[in-house]
Amino acid sequence: MAIIRENCVRDRGLILALVVMNLCLASVHVIGQTDIPTTTDPLLSFGFYATSCPRAERIVRDAMHEYYLNDPRHAPAILRLFFHDCFVQGCDASVLLDTADPKEPAEKEAAPNLHSLRGFELIDDIKSRIEAICPRVVSCADIIALAARESVLLTRGPRFAMLTGRRDARTSSAARAQRDIPLPDADYDTITKSFRSRGLNEVDVAALLGAHTIGRSQCKFVRNRNVESTTCSNHGNHTTDLDIGSGGIFDNHFFVNLRRGRGILTVDDALMSRLNSYLRVTAFAYDNELFFDQFVSSLLKMSSIGVLTGVDGEIRQNCSVVNGPGPLNPFNDEVVTPRHHPPRHPKKPVVISGRATGSQS
């Protein structure tokens, strides 16, 4: 089906969007009624470290603020790191592991990550700060998730609580990353199939691709000739904003650009190639709060993919290497559960004016 452009429905676009709004919102959710997914693992919860390491979330927040002020590019880099971690064997910090065996390279060596994925040193720094006060308590997987939450907030996105309680993987595979990470030139069928295999639906596809409202892309991935000529070739640039006109700000302008035919990547423009998806883009483009609500719901849903809890995995002392046997690491299989704060299923957050809030330190 040819890509549906705004000029194809110029006179009826707004009317069509309003007429089908109820149908559209049936799948996108109504403001104030955003469904927070119930994780299949009850050991994930909000405020997991409230007793065991009460300063953990504050340390992540302060560190991200410092790094962001020094270089705003850290925010989209960490959000992308979180996506790439979750899409390969789950949100388990496997993306942070260095290659231990040259015959079996780690995820960071895979083509979609090599020389483009950033933020490893930042996560290592946050981990060292937390280890100084709470050794072997806070996982690297949770640090990535909390840092991603701060990335959204720092770029003027919604405020929300992040589920915590994950543990870290002991394995990492470049081959699996090569297979599982969606590519920027994916078409609609390919991207939705990838998301569905991880328990995410087509509404989640639209909302999570909305993260492209911040960050930049290498010009070699730009498939929009108009955009390529105006932001890359004619100016000698090697990168371009993924959301032209609002780069660096987390908002719904990304969807406004899609309706104007200014999508940067093939995978972004693919959202305009199906009627239902086009209507979701339209709904998000007209309502920033609606986008925020759904993004929070979809991100929390994604953050629960393939998590390790209980006695699975470990709590790494160094995010780039697995714990080794010996006197320095005698508790590889310890279960860290906060006292007086039993694990529970996540509650629905309170949503006020497009801001989903929950318990945060």
d(CA 168, CA 176): 17
Residues 6+ apart with CB under 8 A from 323: 314, 315, 316, 317, 329, 332
The answer to whether 92 is a known ligand-binding residue is: yes
User: Is 238 a known active-site residue?
Assistant: no
CB under 8 Å to 145, separation ≥6 — which residues?
82, 91, 162, 163, 164, 166, 303
Would you give the DSSP letter of residue 351? E
Flag whether 293 is marked binding: no
Q: Is 88 annotated as a binding residue?
A: yes
213 is in an annotated binding site: yes
| pLDDT tens column, 2-24 | 444 444 444 444 544 443 443 34
> So what's the pLDDT on residue 4?
45
Chain centroid to CA 304: 11
The response to whether 124 counts as a known ligand-binding position is no
Alpha helices in 29-94 (DSSP H): 56-70, 74-86
Helix/strand/coil (H, E, C) string of 143-171? HHHHHHHHHHHHCCCCCCCCEECCEECCC
What CATH number belongs to 44-321? 1.10.520.10
The low-confidence residues of the chain, meaning pLDDT below 70, are 1-42, 221, 223-237, 326-361
Q: Domain residue spans in the chain?
A: 44-321
11 is in an annotated binding site: no
Q: What is the pLDDT of residue 105?
A: 95
Helix ranges (H only) for 187-244 are 188-196, 202-209, 225-231
Q: What is the per-residue pLDDT for 226?
A: 55
pLDDT of the residue at 344? 41
Q: What is the DSSP letter of 99?
A: P
Question: Catalytic pick from 84, 115, 253, 345?
Answer: 84
